[in-house]
Amino acid sequence: MSAVMQNAAFRETGLDFSYELLEVRPEELRRTASEKLTGPGVRGANVTIPHKVEIMRYLDEIYYEAQRIGAVNLIVNDGGILKGYNTDGSAALRAIVETYGSIRDTRVIVLGAGGAARAVCYKLAESASEIMILNRTEEHAVALSDYLSAFPECRAVISAGSLQYESLRKGLEEADILVNTTPVGMHPKTESSPVASRLLRSDLLVFDTVYNPLMTRLLLDAEAVGARVLTGVQMLVYQGAATFELWTRRKAPEAVMMRAVMDALEGRAD
């Protein structure tokens, strides 16, 4: 989706850039960074699973938020100096605030404790009052909770538990916002949901970071009980827009980027 989105933005703004996909094996990461990414014709890169943490060893500068989150999803090549950023957390927060309004003093449940959860929880923790992280492997949730709680900018009380019916039931009784950062429900297993539908309530905002399909089983169930829903597409486009602006120093044509993503997703809807 990033190639579709960025190439549409380059066409729209008349910039002579092109976004290409590069498959990199872990043992090639150091050489890719030092040789391919520092070249004069390369403005930067996005980094995805499984390289978001490891890539940090090969960058010259890492911006504050990426350091805090502990992962880089965006690299800018400034004359051979590689600078690392993380735009996932801010993009998720922007999408949530646009839909929900201020998240100050809200109670949030986050499902998952991987890279997306780290970024989302870090940004939410600056304003929310409580965050409960529930994960398939409970120790990963506990580790993330401990890690984030140690930062002075973390305002939220963060708790952790295992992603199970009973913990979800208890957590959802009190929550304002539910965020899924697990891949459960993603194409092709579109009938799966991380949450039993009977636990959802009409006064929740349910945000699924999965964007293929656009309306996941979780979001369909949430909509059926009258809850507000937010798909993963806004987060995707907002992080893409931030990426475009850091690479080009031009305002991102967000509407064009959104249209390109929606067209591509709808074109391959199952």
Instruction: Quickly list H helices, 110-232.
Output: 115-124, 138-149, 165-174, 217-224
User: Of 129 and 220, which CB lies nearer to ligand NAP in the complex structure?
Assistant: 220
Interactions with ligand NAP, residue window 46-105 (CB under 6 A): 49, 88
User: Contact region for ligand NAP (CB under 6 A) — 27-35, 101-109, 209-217, 222-230?
Assistant: 209-217
Site string for ligand NAP, 18-47 (x = CB under 6 A): ------------------------------
- 47, 36 contact by CB (below 8 A): no
Can you tell me which of 6, 87, 145, 209 binds ligand NAP, judged by CB under 6 A? Answer: 209
The answer to whether 193 contacts ligand NAP (rule: CB under 6 A) is no
Residue of 142, 100, 99 lying closest to 121 (CA atoms): 142
Query: Interior CA angle at 140 toward 139 and 141, to 5°?
Result: 90
The answer to whether 232 contacts ligand NAP (rule: CB under 6 A) is yes
Catalytic residues: 52
Can you tell me which of 235, 242, 252, 258 binds ligand NAP, judged by CB under 6 A? Answer: 235
Asked if omega into 183 is within 30° of 0 (cis), the reply is: no
Can you tell me which of 18, 34, 137, 197 binds ligand NAP, judged by CB under 6 A? Answer: 137
Query: Interior CA angle at 72 toward 69 and 74, to 5°?
Result: 135
* Structure tokens belonging to residue 112: 């998952």
Name residue 178's beta-bridge partners.
109, 206
Q: How far, in Å, CA of 163 to CA of 148, rounded?
A: 19
Instruction: Give least dist CB 46 to ligand NAP, A.
Output: 11
Give the orientation angle of helix 115-124 with respect to helix 138-149, to 10 degrees.
Answer: 40
The answer to whether 210 contacts ligand NAP (rule: CB under 6 A) is yes
Query: Which residues of this chain interact with ligand NAP, rule CB under 6 A?
Result: 49, 88, 112-117, 135-137, 140, 163, 181-184, 186, 209-211, 232, 235-236, 239
